[in-house]
């Protein structure tokens, strides 16, 4: 929107009207002004000047609105999008969501979320991408580009340090500036610089003593002055304490707002606590982005749900991570399959809270198996259907709305059923599910298998493998769980995450080898919770946590496991395929700005497949402690036919390898190793470059 139009509007708007643009209408479910049913928030319209009420709707797994006339698609949760390691595909997902938002009248999608997987028990891990800032930032940038290509805005959230739900409203997160800048701020920085999101949502928590929404250092110094952000900042819903401190700090919009907040801001303006220039600045930021939105201008229509279901399916199949496979997969079409676990019917599409979705349907594992005319054990399937029929109402809500999974124990079938089924089937597939959501973190019991789940795996494993029949486990979960204690009891494990509405179809087609799994872990699967470095997770005091200190500093996820020699169950970047790949022809060139890494990936197996090639940098020993290695670049190949290769060229800027020493970014002199691998621990090529002199960089 042109500067001139904004200035003209500013000259015509009264103070009350300006404040109305900066404060939401409050609860959108009860307000007469609400334009889109089920959207999370809206600003006040100023009809006199043709300024609409701008509509903001969640994200990140789809556009969360409740309008029967404008249905929307449920895509895979963010951790699964990150598992694709495929920015081009994620951009298509973003574009589909952006189009749905626009057609349904939404101006800003409250997504993606860029917090870091600091601990496997994080309640919202499913709607965050990764433990690694580069992967998070690159995937987020693609997502934002996609959404905004449709003419509506994206809102990256929750800025910053919102890595747990316990005590989230005012939790004081203590973290060193180095860890903040290298780990927690970094994905936001990448997304702001590479994708220019229209907006940023400040987080509920405090950072080092100051509420994020009232934090001038964060919202003005870092975000705008250092990174050049030119959009507007909104609060998370109900965050912070003082509207004057918020707006003065650079937090332009108060959400969800309401009459109280409106009055508080007006009072603060009238008392001189918020200068009118600051109000004008905030209004200008909001209007310069939102007046250009295609959302409020769009004529009501229907999104192309069929085309978007295909994109949701693609993203789901590319996000599947094959953790283990001792010849059990892919399954031959004619084989007789016994399905175990309530998740075959209660297939989990996504997580709970603001990130849930209302798709037109959810493809369950059992339905999809039937859809592919597989020889499933109908006797067992009937038992599951009968056991679950008591939960009819909950089930309907489960599929349609929030995935608040009825907790059904896994003793639906007995030992005799399992042993009898082993006689008449060729293999067993066990589905293990978990649901988590906004507002609470998981408990250690959620990480480990429950007794009924252990019993099911033990009994099926014993009954089938004793007579040479394989057992496959499907993990339909949103954050890592224990696998180390039971993985020897199964022949294959497919990590299916929470794949959105196409869940069942994507899972079954992967089991059958109709698609070749190509996802890689965006987050480490530790052996036990005791191994996780972020031991302060949850905060203190334990009963009502008020603060949390990120004691592990920069050593989050694989940065810790690799540096301190702790072996995970499955490492960051790991994932198998039904084919094999070789790596060759490494060459490294350097100039004054960057290092260029070239290598070749060849499909050496029998099936077409895609590989995610990862480049890690291992620094020399210097003055500053650094992780043993860090991901600095990655590339997913195209679908390679057997025997086919792809030459890959990746560049890494020196600045992106530097460490923050409290004042500036430093890259010490010495010999740096370039490690090219198929995971953080499976390194296939090794090279080196030298830096004769130390380099320093400003922000």
- State which of residues 86, 347, 354, 479 lies at the interface with ligand BGC (CB under 6 A): 354
Q: Give min distance, CB of 236 to ligand BGC, in A.
A: 5
Given the complex with ligand BGC, which of 107 and 236 has the nearer CB atom? 236
Q: Which pairs with CB-CB distance under 8 Å and at least 24 residues apart come from 217-220? A: 218/159, 218/160, 218/249, 219/159, 219/249, 219/250, 219/251, 220/249, 220/250
- State which of residues 19, 101, 108, 110 lies at the interface with ligand BGC (CB under 6 A): 110
Tokens of 276: 């009118």
- State which of residues 54, 58, 183, 232 lies at the interface with ligand BGC (CB under 6 A): 58
Given the complex with ligand BGC, which of 110 and 422 has the nearer CB atom? 110
Q: Is 157 a binder of ligand BGC (CB under 6 A)?
A: yes
Beta strands in 417-460 (DSSP E): 427-433
Q: Which of 160, 146, 165 is nearest to 75 (CA)?
A: 146
Q: Is 368 a binder of ligand BGC (CB under 6 A)?
A: no
Buried/exposed 668-692: b ≥16 CB within 10 Å, e otherwise = beeebebbbbbbbbebbbebebebe
Q: Is 170 exposed, middle or buried (0-12, 13-18, 19+ CB in 10 A)?
A: middle
* Gyration radius of the chain's alpha carbons: 25
Separation between Cα atoms, residue 686 and residue 299, nearest integer Å: 56
Instruction: Name the CA dihedral angle for 383, 385, 391, 394, rounded to a multiple of 10 degrees.
Output: 150
Q: Are 137 and 114 in contact (CB under 8 A)?
A: yes
Q: Give min distance, CB of 632 to ligand BGC, in A.
A: 30
Compose the 442-481 pattern: x for residues touching ligand BGC by CB under 6 A, - for all others: ----------------------------------------
Given the complex with ligand BGC, which of 111 and 493 has the nearer CB atom? 111
Given the complex with ligand BGC, which of 236 and 552 has the nearer CB atom? 236
- State which of residues 6, 40, 291, 321 lies at the interface with ligand BGC (CB under 6 A): 40
Q: Give min distance, CB of 586 to ligand BGC, in A.
A: 42
Buried/exposed 549-562: b ≥16 CB within 10 Å, e otherwise = ebebbbbbbbbbbb
Given the complex with ligand BGC, which of 58 and 417 has the nearer CB atom? 58
What are φ and ψ of residue 364, in 5° steps? -90, 165
Compose the 602-631 pattern: x for residues touching ligand BGC by CB under 6 A, - for all others: ------------------------------
Give the interface size with ligand BGC as a residue count (CB under 6 A): 8
Given the complex with ligand BGC, which of 58 and 163 has the nearer CB atom? 58
Which of the following is catalytic: 236, 417, 446, 553? Answer: 236
Among residue numbers 215 through 274, which ones bind ligand BGC (CB under 6 A)? 236-237
What are φ and ψ of residue 116, in 5° steps? -100, 145
Q: Give min distance, CB of 157 to ligand BGC, in A.
A: 6
Tokens of 649: 């060229």
Active site residue 236: yes
The DSSP bridge partners found for residue 576 are 322
In total, the chain counts a number of residues equal to 699
Separation between Cα atoms, residue 507 and residue 316, nearest integer Å: 8
What are φ and ψ of residue 321, in 5° steps? -115, 120
- Nearest 5 degrees, angle CA 81-CA 85-CA 90? 45
Q: Is 356 a binder of ligand BGC (CB under 6 A)?
A: no
Among residue numbers 666 through 695, which ones bind ligand BGC (CB under 6 A)? none
Q: Are strands 547-549 and 172-174 parallel, antiparallel or unpaired?
A: parallel
Q: Give min distance, CB of 293 to ligand BGC, in A.
A: 17
Given the complex with ligand BGC, which of 202 and 516 has the nearer CB atom? 202
Distances (CA, A) of 574 to 287, 499, 517, 570: 44, 19, 12, 7
Separation between Cα atoms, residue 42 and residue 29, nearest integer Å: 11
- Give contact residues for ligand BGC (rule: CB under 6 A): 40, 58, 110, 157, 236-237, 354, 438
Just list the catalytic residues. 236
């Amino acid at each position: 929107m042109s500067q001139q139009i904004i200035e003209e509007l500013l000259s015509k708007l009264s103070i009350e009207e300006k404040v109305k643009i900066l404060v939401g209408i409050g609860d959108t479910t009860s307000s007469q002004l609400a334009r889109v049913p089920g959207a999370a928030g809206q600003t006040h319209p100023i009809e006199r000047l043709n300024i609409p009420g701008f509509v903001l709707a969640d994200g990140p797994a789809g556009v969360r609105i409740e309008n029967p006339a404008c249905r929307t698609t449920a895509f895979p949760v963010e951790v699964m999008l990150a598992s694709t390691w495929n920015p081009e595909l994620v951009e298509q997902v973003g574009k589909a969501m952006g189009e749905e938002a626009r057609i349904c009248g939404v101006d800003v999608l409250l997504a993606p979320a860029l917090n870091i997987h600091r601990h496997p028990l994080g309640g919202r891990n499913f709607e965050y991408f990764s433990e690694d800032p580069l992967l998070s930032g690159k995937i987020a940038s693609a997502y934002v580009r996609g959404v905004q290509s449709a003419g509506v805005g994206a809102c990256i959230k929750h800025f910053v340090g919102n890595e747990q739900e316990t005590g989230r409203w005012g939790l004081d997160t203590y973290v060193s500036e180095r860890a903040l800048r290298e780990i927690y701020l970094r994905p936001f920085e990448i997304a702001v610089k590479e994708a220019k999101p229209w907006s940023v949502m400040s987080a509920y928590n405090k950072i080092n003593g100051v509420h994020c929404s009232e934090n001038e250092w964060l919202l003005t110094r870092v975000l705008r002055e250092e990174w050049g952000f030119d959009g507007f900042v909104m609060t998370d819903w109900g965050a912070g304490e003082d509207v004057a401190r918020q707006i003065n700090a650079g937090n332009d919009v108060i959400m969800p707002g309401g009459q109280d907040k409106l009055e508080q801001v007006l009072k603060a303006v009238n008392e001189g606590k918020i200068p009118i220039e600051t109000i004008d600045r905030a209004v200008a930021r909001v209007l310069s982005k939102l007046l250009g939105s295609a959302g409020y201008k769009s004529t009501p229509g229907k999104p192309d749900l069929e085309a978007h279901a295909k994109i949701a399916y693609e993203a789901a199949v590319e996000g599947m991570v094959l953790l283990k496979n001792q010849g059990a997969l892919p399954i031959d079409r004619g084989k007789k399959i016994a399905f175990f676990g309530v998740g075959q019917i209660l297939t989990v599409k996504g997580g709970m809270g603001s990130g849930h979705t209302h798709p037109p349907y959810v493809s369950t594992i059992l339905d999809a198996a039937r859809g592919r005319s597989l020889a499933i054990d109908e006797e067992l399937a009937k038992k599951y259907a009968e056991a679950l029929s008591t939960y009819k109402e909950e089930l309907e809500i489960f599929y349609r709305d929030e995935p608040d999974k009825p907790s059904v124990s896994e003793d639906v079938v007995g030992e005799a059923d399992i042993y009898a089924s082993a006689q008449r089937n060729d293999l067993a597939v066990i589905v293990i599910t978990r649901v988590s959501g906004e507002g609470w973190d998981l408990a250690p019991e959620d990480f480990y298998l429950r007794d009924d789940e252990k019993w099911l795996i033990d009994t099926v494993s014993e009954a089938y493998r004793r007579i040479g029949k394989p057992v496959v486990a499907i993990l339909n979960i949103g954050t890592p769980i224990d696998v180390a204690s039971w993985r020897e009891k199964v022949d294959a494990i497919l990590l299916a995450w929470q794949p959105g509405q196409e869940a069942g179809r994507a899972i079954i087609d992967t089991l059958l080898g109709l698609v070749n799994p190509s996802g890689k872990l965006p987050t480490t699967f530790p052996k036990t919770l005791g191994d996780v470095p972020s031991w302060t997770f949850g905060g203190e005091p334990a009963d009502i946590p008020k603060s949390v200190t990120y004691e592990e500093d920069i050593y989050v996820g694989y940065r810790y496991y690799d540096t301190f020699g702790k072996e995970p169950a499955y490492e960051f970047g790991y994932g198998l395929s039904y084919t094999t790949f070789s790596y060759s022809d490494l060459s490294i060139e350097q100039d004054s700005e960057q290092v260029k890494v070239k290598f070749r990936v060849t499909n050496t197996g029998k099936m077409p497949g895609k590989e995610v090639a990862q480049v890690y940098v291992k620094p020399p020993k210097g003055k500053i402690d650094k992780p043993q290695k860090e991901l600095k670049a990655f590339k997913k190949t195209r679908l390679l036919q057997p025997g086919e290769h792809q030459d890959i060229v990746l560049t890494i800027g020196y600045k992106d390898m530097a460490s923050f020493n409290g004042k500036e970014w430093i890259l010490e002199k010495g010999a740096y190793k370039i490690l090219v691998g198929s995971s953080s621990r499976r390194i296939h090529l090794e090279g080196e470059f030298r830096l004769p002199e130390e380099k320093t960089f400003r922000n």
